[in-house]
Amino acid sequence: MSSVVTVNRDLQAEKRAAATAFRAELTRRGIFCVNLISSPGAGKTTLLQATARFWPKPEKLAVLVGDIATDRDAERLAPYLTVRQLTTGGACHLDLKLVERGFDELNLDGVEYLFVENIGNLVCPASHDLGEHLRVVVLSVTEGDDKPAKYPKAFRTSQACVVSKVDLMPYVPFDLQAATQDARSIQPDMPILPVCATTGSGLAEWCEFLRDRRTKALAEHVRDDLSHRLDEQRMPHP
Ligand SMILES: Nc1nc2c(ncn2[C@@H]2O[C@H](COP(=O)(O)OP(=O)(O)OP(=O)(O)O)[C@@H](O)[C@H]2O)c(=O)[nH]1
Ligand SMILES: [Mg+2]
């Protein structure tokens, strides 16, 4: 026997509000959060290892790394930076509650950048706001240049695209211009960052991009906070 239960609550609105509140908390603490999404094996963990090696002060970086099973990615990242594995036990994406739990368990003293490596999947993670400031879709050249058009939501909800494994371009049929064009037909002005995590090519541009976005996000917060306080001062006292 089945029955219908009327909830009368907009659950999506509640999830959006929770993600917005988490983002505000991160901003208040000066932590810029980057959600990396991609197909399995596109190179997210290798990119994070290379980023930590390249970053002048890797102690300012931390990672929450998601996987369906095992903590192998956390083992790979642990020699380079503060990391906590999030294991979903089968779920194909990370959700905000799991990220918040991982966040509470990390020592984030002095951390300025929190990366969230999502589950390798170009579909489900696109629908979940984890409270990040920046969503980056990683597209490896071995996947084919047709992926932006075939998985538009991943590209529509991301604010930048890292094209990974560019060292393999001579060996695979990947047209960077075609991929860029498709990505920008979905998301105009999408920054495209070609990177090879194994040789380090493109890492300087990637790291500079992250610094720039963090500075802008924090400046926006200071501006909003200031105008909020000025508005309060202008309010007539009761
Ligand atoms: N040639 C080449 N191989 C790479 C590069 N980046 C990653 N790889 C290789 O690609 C494979 C997958 O890389 P990972 O970093 O584990 O990919 P991932 O996206 O974290 O994978 P999941 O967490 O399973 O989704 C590994 O064998 C890496 O060594 C690159 O820039 N060039
Ligand atoms: Mg990984």
168 CB near ligand 1 (under 6 Å):
yes
164 CB near ligand 1 (under 6 Å):
yes
Confidence of residue 130 (pLDDT cuts 50, 70, 90): very high
Ligand with minimal distance to 92 CA: 1
Least-confidence region, from 43-57, 114-128, 217-231: 217-231
- pLDDT score, position 237: 54
State in Å: Cα 85 to ligand 2 middle: 11
142 CB near ligand 1 (under 6 Å):
no
Residue 12 in any domain: the answer is no
121 CB near ligand 1 (under 6 Å):
no
Residue 105 in any domain: the answer is yes
Residue 194 in any domain: the answer is yes
Is 104 a residue whose pLDDT tops 70? yes
The number of distinct structural domains making up the chain is 1
Q: Which ligand 1 atom sits nearest the alpha carbon of residue 199?
A: 31
Confidence of residue 66 (pLDDT cuts 50, 70, 90): very high
Confidence of residue 138 (pLDDT cuts 50, 70, 90): very high
Residue 184 in any domain: the answer is yes
- What integer is the mean pLDDT of 184-189? 96
Confidence of residue 6 (pLDDT cuts 50, 70, 90): confident
Is 230 a residue whose pLDDT tops 80? no
Is 228 a residue whose pLDDT tops 90? no
Q: Say if residues 125 and 45 touch (Cβ distance below 8 Å).
A: no
Q: Which two tokens stand for residue 136?
A: 């980056």
pTM > 0.85: yes or no: yes
d(CA 187, CA 180): 10
- pLDDT score, position 236: 60
51 CB near ligand 1 (under 6 Å):
no
Confidence of residue 232 (pLDDT cuts 50, 70, 90): confident
Residue 45 in any domain: the answer is yes
CATH code at 226?
3.40.50.300
Q: How much is the mean pLDDT over the chain?
A: 93
Residue 125 in any domain: the answer is yes
For the chain, helix, strand, coil in percent to 5 are 45, 20, 35
